[in-house]
Amino acid sequence: MFSYLIGILVLLDSPIIFMTGFSLLILCLLYVFGRSEETLKRFFIALFGVLLGMALSFHASAEMQDDVLGNGEFEVYGYAYGPEYGNTGKLVLKVEGINDADGYRDANAAILILADADLSEYRHGYVKYKGSLYDESKPKNPNEFDYRLYGLFKGYDKVSFFDESSVIEKVPVEGSFDPVAIKDEILAKSEIIIEGKSRAYFASLVFGDTSLLSEEQEQQIGMSGLSHLFAVSGLHIAILYGFLLKLLDFFHMKNRWVKYAAVLSIVAGFISITGFPVSAVRAFLFITVLALSKIAKRKYDLLNSLLIAAMIVLTLNPYQIYSPGFQLSFGAVASIHFIYPAIRKWNGSQNMAVKAFLISLAVQIGIAPILIWHFNYISIVSIIANVPAIILMGIWQPVLYIFAIAVHFSIPFVPGALALPIDLAMAGLNWFSGEAAGLSWAYVELPSMGPKAVGIYYCTCILFVLQSRKDVLFYADRMKRAAAVIMAVLVIAAVPSIAIGKERIEIIFFDVGQGDCMLLKTKNDRKILVDSGSGDKNIDDILLKNGIGSIDLAVLTHFHEDHYGGFMELAEKGRIDTMLLKERAWENQNIKNDLEAKMEANGNSVIYAKEGQSIEMDGLTIEVLNVCKSQEESDSHATENDDSIVLLLDYRNFELLLTGDIESETEKRLASENTEDIDLIKASHHGSKTSNTEVFLESFKPETAVIQVGKNFFGHPAPSVIDRYGAFGIDIYRTDNDGAISIETDGFEKYSINSFFSNRSEEYGLE
């Protein structure tokens, strides 16, 4: 913790270049001259803590950093490259200069240029570019994918969408060379030599470029748990490193300095061709330390190498700590170092297949929370599928390297001779990954784990490791006692809130664009979902990212797409236990039929709303105030909107009115029947001028209102409605401006409202 705090302070007061040089200098001196391995180990752990603090504070202070480019239209100059061969409409421009209203000035930044047009001719050279620059959007829902953070750890600051007003032109500069151009050349030449699917696998296995893979191929690779084979990682670098050493041994190269220098130079050149992916850089640092230990005749320590590599990567780009690639890459190696030996205590077989299986198992155990957090699934079949895949890759990877070299240097006969075997091998890989992914038990979709659950999980892993080892950084007994205390604290912290008397409900109005979607968690953590947006924003993903795997009660207020869109997938996956629907659909009867069929197919129930109906759940009362009438009873004004299910949610002293898309006629009727003052209202029909009438607001007297709205052509919310709410003194929260809106209350004295995007936070009293 102390080192973590130092990292924060150092980052705030020192330039990144100074820290990089200082860290590397200290690391080298201590590694070469350190007398005690234990001292070195503890030093590396402490320094890792420093850099971890730096990385986290780097993110926290992102808003304070200078915006080199700003937003708006600019003319910039710099080097353009295409990180993905198959994505011809994507360029990254390393900006070296900018021409704006103040004239030309030097700049150091990066821009991601996205276009529908083919921009591949501008790759690997200097260009002038004129266009509008934007910041990547920040997430508007909790735990939603953060494109802004993604850009930062990918190394670009701004985004520009290439359109008819954009201008790009080449600028000839002598002596400029991009190693990635070699990759593009090899892939271009290979197009006429090997078959399309084989070429896509070849590009992925050799260069880690997955842009040629089809969506089906990517999906089956992910579900089969073989994704790591298609990114240049430690396995690839280890195979190349071992292959080159064997090759030089074959030619009887005796000088260790020359041999290892040659191997490291070739591997470094290869990594530069792939574009320096983090997993490859990490592996290169590993083999560099390994080579130095061989030359210096020192014992190689995997943990030291892991920490050195992590510190260097984080020093160069602290945002990498948020990258799934960084976390999975280093997590996998840490799992092999710690968990694999513990598993080997239970099975000491020397069989290669068994050892490969145990390594795969150890890695899956170690990285499971990371996979679940980022991708919301774990591959069960991968533990088995990786055994033959890794063994066969050790055989075929050198062949693919030879093919790439032969294509690049246009060596006669070799590419043609290898084409058929490669086509057959890649077809076999395609079949194998497809069969593995197609198994009913191949993968399990899971909601993201919270910090408490992750803490308990890794504490359990620590205890498992400690029971099998006597020396893990500290004395075993001391470590066991510390881990036991941590475990006890985490278990107590994870006890449901009701066990310690904190009986609160939580409500979240998600930002789903132009649509409605509200989640309510009861005091016993049962989940109620009212509407599900249009499907443009995948509510299933949002729920999983927030640790929600199933819904106890789903309510669809009416059959319009901006309300039912997400329910189709949730119902198909069997994630909804009970669904409350209108008995009649004025529009989209086929949607009603589909939902009913999907619910029935999964053994889940559908109930139909009736006026006056009341549902009790964990102290929460849900009362149906409005629902569609039968055709005989309906008035001539009846529409799908006006016959929305209207719900009054009552929790102790807190009342919330959910209005669906009702219009003025239904509002007038509800106002005439109402006897309650409420605390919070979900504004009718996204703030439409045909709803939210004065008589309605006067009757229910809400203190606060949430308007669920996105970009639209309907004029929602109407300015007159905003003024009307203001005239009644009602505080307004909007999902388009404020992002997701969360409400918490114990139902007694007050309720709090917090907005995720705009960081608004208020408390209101209850009567």
We report the CATH number of the domain holding residue 95 as: 2.40.50
Using a pLDDT cut of 90, give the percent of the chain over it.
56
- State which amino acid sits at residue 417: A
The pLDDT score that the predictor gives to residue 32 is 45
**Length of the chain counted residue by residue:** 767
User: Do residues 29 and 92 both lie within one domain?
Assistant: no
First to last CA, the chain: 45
User: What pTM was computed for the model?
Assistant: 0.84
Q: How far apart are CA 545 and CA 542, in angstroms?
A: 5
Neighbours of 409 (CB within 10 A): 8
In this structure, are 44 and 118 located in the same domain? Answer: no
Q: End of a domain among 178, 196, 222?
A: 178
In the prediction, which pLDDT does 680 show?
Answer: 98
Query: Do 535 and 680 belong together in one domain?
Result: yes
Same domain (yes/no): 707, 742: yes
Distance CA 561, CA 531 (A): 10
- The answer to whether residue 747 sits within a structural domain is yes
Q: Give the pLDDT confidence score for residue 618 in this predicted structure.
A: 94
pLDDT on residue 423: 94
Short-list 568, 366, 540, CA closest to 445: 540
Q: Which segments within 149-292 are labelled E, that is strand?
A: 158-161, 167-171
Is the bond into 415 cis (omega within 30 degrees of 0)? no
Low-confidence residues of the chain: pLDDT under 70: 1-70, 469-502, 629-638
As a whole number of Å, the CA-based R_g of the chain is: 30
59 and 80 co-located in one domain = no
Alpha-carbon distance of 731 to 706, in angstroms, equals: 9
Is position 682 within any domain? yes
Of 178, 203, 229, which residue constitutes the final position of a domain? 178
Based on the fold, state whether residues 741 and 679 are members of the same structural domain.
yes
Q: State residue 591 phi and psi, 5-degree precision.
A: -65, -45
Reported in sequence order, the residue ranges of 115-270 that DSSP labels E, i.e. its strands, are: 125-133, 158-161, 167-171
Extract the tokens encoding 409: 């240097």
| 643 and 670 together in one domain | yes
Q: Which long-range contacts (CB under 8 A, 24 or more apart) does 519-524 make?
A: 519/543, 519/548, 520/620, 520/649, 522/617, 522/618, 522/619, 522/620, 523/497, 523/498, 523/618, 523/619, 524/496, 524/498, 524/618
267, 241 contact by CB (below 8 A): yes
On whether residue 734 sits in a domain, the answer given is yes
- Please tell me whether residues 535 and 666 are part of one structural domain: yes
Which domain-ending residue is among 10, 44, 63? 63
Give CB contacts under 8 A, 24+ apart, made by 745-752: 745/504, 745/505, 745/651, 745/654, 746/502, 746/503, 746/504, 746/652, 747/503, 747/505, 747/619, 747/651, 747/652, 747/653, 747/654, 748/652, 748/653, 749/653, 751/654, 751/679, 751/680
Of 158, 179, 82, 165, whose CA–CA distance to 131 is shortest? 165
Residue 275 is assigned to a structural domain of this protein: no
What domain range includes position 58?
2-63
Q: Parallel, antiparallel, or unpaired for β 518-521 and 527-530?
A: antiparallel
| Residues 157 and 109: beta-carbon distance below 8 Å | yes
Residue 37 domain flag: yes
* Residue 273 forms part of a structural domain: no
Number of structural domains (the chain) is: 4
Neighbours of 606 (CB within 10 A): 18
The DSSP letter of residue 252 is T
In a domain, 81, yes or no: yes
Does residue 466 sit in the same domain as residue 614? Answer: no
Same domain, 562 and 509: yes
Say if strands 605-608 and 614-617 run parallel, antiparallel, or are unpaired. Answer: unpaired
- CATH code, 542: 3.60.15.10
Both 467 and 606 in one domain: the answer is: no
User: Same domain, yes or no, for 455 and 509?
Assistant: no
